[in-house]
Amino acid sequence: MAATSFSGLQLAMLRSCIPSSQRFADAGTVILGGKAKVGSWNKLASVSHVSSVQPFQRSFTSSSLKSDKIATKAMSESSANTPVSGLPINLKGKRAFIAGVADDHGYGWAIAKSLAAAGAEILVGTWVPALNIFESSLRRGKFDESRVLPDGSLMEITKVYPLDAVFDNLEDAPEDIKTNKRYAGSAKWTVQEVAESVKEDFGTIDILVHSLANGPEVTKPLLETSRKGYLAAISASSYSYVSLLKHFLPILNPGGASISLTYIASERIIPGYGGGMSSAKAALESDTRVLAFEAGRKRKIRVNTISAGPLRSRAAKAIGFIDMMIDYSLVNAPLQKELSAEEVGNAAAFLASPLASAITGTVLYVDNGLNAMGVGIDSPIFKDLDIPKDQH
């Protein structure tokens, strides 16, 4: 995308055919992502108003045209009066725009599913070069298995917009991008234009999710990172969020929520996570606090970011050490289990809901507690300590 998905699709799939400056990553980091599993959906189902939906409409329409809505409701009218035990996450009547969904493997997809399961209407922004593949996969039912919600219905996407979040407006885009054949047939894909299109199509939204990032030199140590690569990482991974919120703020309903995705490399050393990406994540977290103040005072919008642990994704595998990071987390985190994408999605649904009405400017860690550890207990130095291990 100059804005789509490390935990999405294109970084690994398109690496050979797209200039490095145009490769993007969903979930905000090359080691964030992961194919959604169905295991923890039951947890969300127990706290969500969810019912049947209309079958997926096969007449999926390209987002570059003003299309008929592909109806998506995770909750029917009949369920509104159904008694639900516990404390529900109810987003019925809310509309969410998720920037950075390009396949069914990443955090953006998992967040969309959780929001849909809670009743929200889903709009997505997809990196322009990945748009045709994404829409084609939706039409052909390739994502149907991954679209299953807790009640057995399928998540629907009302509309897909082409989006390249590196460019605020068309004047910012260089000529080689405008004439790139992968952009042919798509229009209104800059941040400003997408916000205007959403306003024209739907008027307002209630939830804005930033699930994209890119570091074209992420495999390089910081000392070997060029100025161009460093600034590209900052532009794509942190300023893109500032731009999105700036342009969508006028159509965000008061009391709404905005969420981004970050990574612990913003505050701890993660060797191998280079190219200025750690700096970009630190900037994103700092911006989250400032934006929480500004958007909160202007529009009563809550702004938070989720710091997620390592998850397998196509893009993460391209970096080369994702398996090692997952193994490290399994051994050293307080909760010895592999993190699933839907756990991040469920956390996002909570932050977007009225249950989090007083939470803003926060970094929420969804990483099995790894962020709390001060040492790696798998070190031989600790071999004689009686450290409890998960017996399950």
The residue count of the chain comes to 392
Listed in sequence order, the DSSP H helices in 227-321 are: 227-234, 240-248, 277-299, 314-319
Spatial CB neighbours of 35, under 8 Å, sequence gap ≥ 6:
104, 105, 146, 312, 313, 341
User: Looking only at Cα atoms, what is the longest distance across the chain?
Assistant: 65
**Which residues lie closer than 8 Å to 211 by C-beta, 6 or more apart?**
5, 7, 8, 26, 27, 28, 98, 99, 100, 101, 106, 107, 108, 111, 260, 261
Contact 133, 105 (CB under 8 A): no
CB-count exposure of residue 105 (10 Å: 0-12, 13-18, 19+): buried
Q: Which of 238, 278, 279, 353 is catalytic?
A: 238
Phi, psi values for residue 305, rounded to 5°: -135, 145
Query: Are the C-beta atoms of 6 and 30 separated by less than 8 Å?
Result: yes
- The token duo for 375 is 């040492």
- Answer yes or no: are the C-beta atoms of 45 and 150 closer than 8 Å: yes
Cα angle 19, 285, 124; round to 5: 55
Residue with tokens 């989006």: 163
CA atoms within 13 A on the CB side of 167: 23
| 113 is a catalytic site residue | no
Nearest to 122 by CA among 146, 92, 142: 92
The residue behind tokens 């629907």 is 156
User: The tokens of 74 are what?
Assistant: 């995770």
For residue 190, give both structure tokens. 């800059």
Residue for token pair 């209407």:
121
Per the listing, tokens 């699933």 go with 340
Q: Catalytic annotation on 281?
A: yes
- Which entry of 266, 281, 307, 340 is annotated as an active-site residue? 281
Amino acid at 354: P
Q: Which two tokens stand for residue 14?
A: 């398109």
Residues catalogued as catalytic: 238, 281
